Structures are given as structure tokens and as C-alpha cells.
Amino acid sequence: MGKTTLKNVTVADAYLSILADRGIDYLFANAGTDFTPLIEALAKAQALGTPTPIPITCPHENTAQHMAIGYYLATGRQQLTMMHVNVGTANGLNGLLNAQRGGIPMLFTAGRTPVNEDTLPGHRSLDIHWTQEMYDQAGMLREAVKWDYELRNSVQLETVVDRALSVSMSEPRGPVYLALPREILAQEMSEYTYNSPTRVQPATAPAPDAEALDEIAALLAKAERPLLITNWGGRNPNVMALLTDLADRFALPVVEFRNRYVAMPPLHPMHAGHDPNPYIENADVIMIIDCAAPWLPSQVRPPEKCKVIHMAVDPMYGFVPIRGFEADISVSCATDVGLSLLSDAMESHIGSASTQIENRRQVQTKRHKEQRETLLQKLEDDKRKSTISYALLSHSINEIRDADTVIIKESSLLQQYIETEKPLTMINAGAASGLGHGLGVALGVKLADRDRMVIATEGDGAYIFNNPLSCHYVAAEQDLPVITIVFNNQHWQAVDRATKNQYPDGYAAQSNRQPLTHFTVDQHYEKAVEVAGGYGEQVTDPKELMSALERAKKITMVDKRQALLNVTCVGV
Ligand SMILES: Cc1ncc(C[n+]2csc(CCOP(=O)(O)OP(=O)(O)O)c2C)c(N)n1
């Protein structure tokens, strides 16, 4: 096994060197006075040309967290974030929750205020080093990480880094937290040796139990009205091909319910749309893949005799305290591994089920055709309106994309109009529904592949949650020209609608402008991008929409300048 030896280094130097060796490409950071040994180490590495994760200055922690998420989704490589002690950790929590609920690995770190008042290099030097100290800094986020630790000394450095990185990348993947005290980072070592490459690899993806899988295969093969439901199946880049093949060969309708990724191209006849209710009412076998909430029990329940199957790396969804969905069979496995083996297992059941399979195919193909016709009819109706509808805006975005374009969804974009055909080209990484994710994720995806067109679609409310000036700054500084499209409906429609649903005859439903859900000032978001040298344009007229989108495409992809369209639109 290889070893790397460093001479006359600080713990900070060695820490960065190990991280680079372990394949961490970037450090997305928002610095404070706890960072001093790391800043010194980065400057030293730059001067000497030694490898470290590349530092990216993020003016807000939310940008840092979501760039790490976007970069991981585009590459499969976990990244490093660092925040300023307790306060920076607090600002990063929204992104941390999105990462944890979304199964995104990352090494989330923060400094720890110095504890020595006047001794040891790195000791306290400012009043805040007393006022920022906490009894348990990780306490505020322990529920959102798989592992947390505070670096205690230089000797354990390699063990700590490898433990953090291997725990986060083992299934179920998720973020880990490491606090780094300033005095320890500043400690000097005449020599430091670590293993290269690491001897601590993450666990391999788990495979399903063969007996359970055969039982599932038999149930699905002979079912008359089977249904597959997924939410984040499409997060795994291998799933789309495997799920499409399975659904196609065995005529299994797939509903993507409240999905954050696309697991199956929507134009495929076995794609059953996004509403599971009409299917669930009559289903005899339902398989739920990567989905914590497959339907709303207050709206629909499967028939008593329907068999309910769950497939996920943790089909108990341990992060959810209460969850009562039926579970006749649950298999734990990485979804791509499970789907591939299920496909094999189903082969032996095809013979006895060929009639059911053909019937299913006919019924679902007809339903799919009808669903698509309804969507197109809605679009045609909307084209005649004088305002821009969500359907028209979504369809128009589809018109400027190519198969590799990545569309980030933090808006009312109607994904039915986006003809997705490749994995991870439609992303909604707000798994905890923590608004403020879209722009950072878009930047992370663009950083991973600068040739791709990346379109961030944002509700006007969501856009503000992103700390847009921070994101537009990073886009400019790092040359990451993305297109931002603000779906500007001047209110928080989701909150407005939820109130009306709960109180259909209430005062809020009668009022023209529910309290706390409307923006009454006409905000010119197109000006915000100009602060960082970007191009901004307001669009109100449907006739101007396509030319504005084409312009934004040219400005980002040819002129390499970020662009923002502030599109006034009206909800469905
Ligand atoms: C960090 C955070 N704060 C608050 C919310 C609650 N919330 C859910 S939807 C929403 C409004 C979103 O408004 P907008 O992006 O304009 O989209 P619209 O609902 O109008 O389509 C809010 C505030 C949240 N999800 N996340």
C-alpha cells in the first residue's frame, strides 16, 4: 500500500491534502475567524502548487450547501462544505436538511471557536471567541446527519476523515458533520504520513433477498391492475433504463408521485403520470420504489386485498417518525440492483402471465394516449390567452432545451411538458422542501459540466429564498452562466392553496389577498442579476416569450453570461 509523507505541515495542511487524495474536488465555503489555519493552508498550497479541494467562495451558506448537492448529483462525487462555527452551521441547516432527506452524501464541516484563552497557536483573539462557544455545537443538527464528530488531535486526523467520507457514501447515503477546532488545525507537525489510496472504502450497494424478490415477481406478473409508484427513483442514474425496461417488458404502469427526479421518460406509454389516485383505487398489486409517501391516505387507500410492496435501500424510511402505509413485503436494496434482479426474476413468470401482460399493455397505452391528449389540449387553449400560463411557460422551456439540458425545478414548472429522456436532467433537490435550493444546485451542476445548458426554474418566492445575490455572484466569479427563469405569480400559491383547501368556506378563501401569502410590491427580479453583470429581462406578453427564451439561451451558451427572465405568469 502507498503512503504519502508531508514535511513541516500544520494539521490544516494535512487535512486538505488527505481530502484531495480522497477525491474531494471542491470546498464550498463561507469563512469566518475559525478558518484562519485553513486559509493559510490553502494559500500555502496555491503558492507551492500542492493539491487541495478547490475553494469556492460562497457569500451565503445556502449557496455552498446546494452547490455541493448539485455537484454530487451531476457527478456522483461527494463534496466538502465549511461554515463559520455555530452561526454558519445554523445558516447551512436548510441545505443540510435537503441533503439528508434527499440521501445526498457530503462532508459538512464548521470551525469550532478556540477554547484556549491565551495559550497554544490559534488561541482566542477576539471577543466572539467567547460568545460563539457552545456546549454542543453539533446538537442543532444531529438528527440531520449520519455521523458527527469533533476533531480531537492530529494523530486521529486520517481516521476521522476516512470515517466521515466512508460513512456518508455508504447506503443509505447522507451528510456527515465534522467540527474543526482552530487550535488543532493550527498544530504543527514536522512529519505526517497517511495511506494513499485510502484503506477505508464505503460499503458496496446492498442486494435484495432472493426469496422475497421471487415472491414480488410472481405477484407483479399475474396482477391484473399493478402499479409502480416512485418519488426519487430517478436520483440513481441507472434506474431510468432499468425501470423503463421492466415497465415496458411486463406492462407495468409507473406513477411518479411528487417526484423530485424523473425515473422514466414521460412519453413512454407505461408512464402513468403523476397522480396515483385513479390507479390506487382499483390496484391489486402496488410496488413502491424510493418513496416515503406514495399517496395521501386522506384522499385514497388501496383496496383491502391489494398487495403492497416496498423497495428501497431503507424501505422502513427510518428518518420518518410516523408512517403507516401497508407493507406486505419490503425489500432493502439499492434500487438499481433490485430492479435489475427483479427483471431477471420476472422472466420465469412470464409464461403463465402472458394474457395479463397483454391486457395491461392495451389498457395503459390507451390511458397514456388520453393523458397526453388532455395535456396538449390544455396547451392549445392556453396559447390563445393574453397571459402566460404555467403550461405555456413549461412547454416553451421544453422548446429551447436539448436532451442533455438540466432543468432545475423549484417552481410550478409542469414537468409533464418537459420531454425528459435522460437521467438526472430534471432535478428538484429540495427533499426536505427547504426552499432556496434551486440556484445553488444549478451552479453545482454547471460546475460539473460547463458545456451543458442549465436552466433554474424558480417561483418568485423560491427565488428570494435562494439569497440570489450570493448565487449570481458565484455564477459570475466562477464563470457559470446558467439561465434563471422566475415564475412570477406575485404570491406564495402553495401556501394560499393549502389554506383554501383546509378552509374552503373560510375568510381567507373569500379574501382577494390572503394575509402572509402575497407580494404587493412589483419586484423587478431582472435587475438583481445585473448586480453581478448578468443579463435580465422581464416578460409579460406570451408573444414575446419564445424570443426571450432564445435570447437567454444565446447569452448563456454563446456569450457565456448568466441570464434571468422574470416571467409574469398566472397559475393553473
Ligand atoms: C425555507 C422554507 N420556508 C418556508 C417554506 C414554506 N413554503 C412552502 S411553498 C412556499 C411558497 C413558495 O412560493 P413560490 O416559490 O412563489 O411558488 P408558488 O407556490 O407561488 O408556486 C413557502 C413559503 C418552505 N418550504 N421552505
pLDDT of residue 350: 84
Residue 200 has pLDDT above 90, yes or no: yes
* 568 CA from centroid of ligand 1 (Å): 17
Ligand 1 neighbourhood includes 461 CB (under 6 angstroms): yes
Instruction: Give backbone dihedrals phi and psi of 459, rounded to 5 degrees, phi first.
Output: -65, 155
pLDDT tens profile 304-321: 999 999 999 999 999 999
* 464 CA from centroid of ligand 1 (Å): 10
pLDDT of residue 85: 97
Q: Name which of 376-380, 400-404, 508-512, 547-551 the model is least confident about.
A: 508-512
pTM for the model stands at 0.98
Provide the residue type at 60 as one letter. Answer: H
Q: Are 376 and 396 in contact (CB under 8 A)?
A: no
* 494 CA from centroid of ligand 1 (Å): 6
Extended beta strands in 75-207, E state: 80-83, 106-112, 148-150, 175-181, 188-195
pLDDT tens profile 493-545: 889 899 999 999 999 999 988 999 989 899 999 999 999 999 999 999 999 99
* CA Rg value for the chain: 25
pLDDT of residue 351: 83
Ligand 1 neighbourhood includes 435 CB (under 6 angstroms): yes
Give the span between the Cα atoms of 109 and 68, in whole angstroms.
Answer: 12
Give the span between the Cα atoms of 493 and 513, in whole angstroms.
Answer: 11
Q: Tell how strand 535-539 and strand 563-570 pair up.
A: parallel
Ligand 1 neighbourhood includes 433 CB (under 6 angstroms): yes
| DSSP reduced 3-state for 109 | strand
| Cβ-based neighbours of 273, under 8 Å, separated by 6 or more | 255, 256, 371, 416
Report the residue among 97, 465, 513, 568 best suited for mutation to probe ligand 1: largest number of ligand atoms under 8 A from its CB.
465
Ligand 1: which atom is nearest the Cα of residue 462? 15
pLDDT tens profile 258-307: 999 999 999 999 999 999 999 999 999 999 999 999 999 999 999 999 99
Extended beta strands in 421-522, E state: 426-427, 454-459, 483-488
Cell 383491502, located at residue: 304
pLDDT tens profile 147-169: 999 999 999 999 999 999 999 99
Q: Are 4 and 21 in contact (CB under 8 A)?
A: yes
Q: Are 61 and 95 in contact (CB under 8 A)?
A: yes
Q: Are 226 and 286 in contact (CB under 8 A)?
A: yes
Extended beta strands in 231-343, E state: 254-256, 285-289, 307-312, 329-332
Residue 1 has pLDDT above 80, yes or no: no
Alpha carbon nearest to ligand 1 atom 5, residue: 435
Confidence of residue 572 (pLDDT cuts 50, 70, 90): low
Provide the residue type at 193 as one letter. Answer: T
Bond before 197 cis per omega within 30 degrees: yes
Ligand 1 neighbourhood includes 459 CB (under 6 angstroms): yes
Confidence of residue 352 (pLDDT cuts 50, 70, 90): confident
pLDDT of residue 221: 95
Nearest to 443 by CA among 493, 415, 480, 408: 480
Residue 247 has pLDDT above 70, yes or no: yes
Ligand 1 neighbourhood includes 491 CB (under 6 angstroms): yes
Alpha carbon nearest to ligand 1 atom 11, residue: 492
Nearest to 237 by CA among 352, 360, 76, 66: 76
* 535 CA from centroid of ligand 1 (Å): 26
pLDDT tens profile 117-135: 999 999 999 999 999 999 9
Give the span between the Cα atoms of 513 and 210, in whole angstroms.
Answer: 57
Give the span between the Cα atoms of 119 and 34, in whole angstroms.
Answer: 16
* 349 CA from centroid of ligand 1 (Å): 47
* 474 CA from centroid of ligand 1 (Å): 23
Residue 460 has pLDDT above 80, yes or no: yes
Joined together, the cell numbers standing for residue 482 give 446558467
pLDDT of residue 353: 77
* 460 CA from centroid of ligand 1 (Å): 9
Ligand 1 neighbourhood includes 225 CB (under 6 angstroms): no
pLDDT tens profile 168-192: 999 999 999 999 999 999 999 999 9
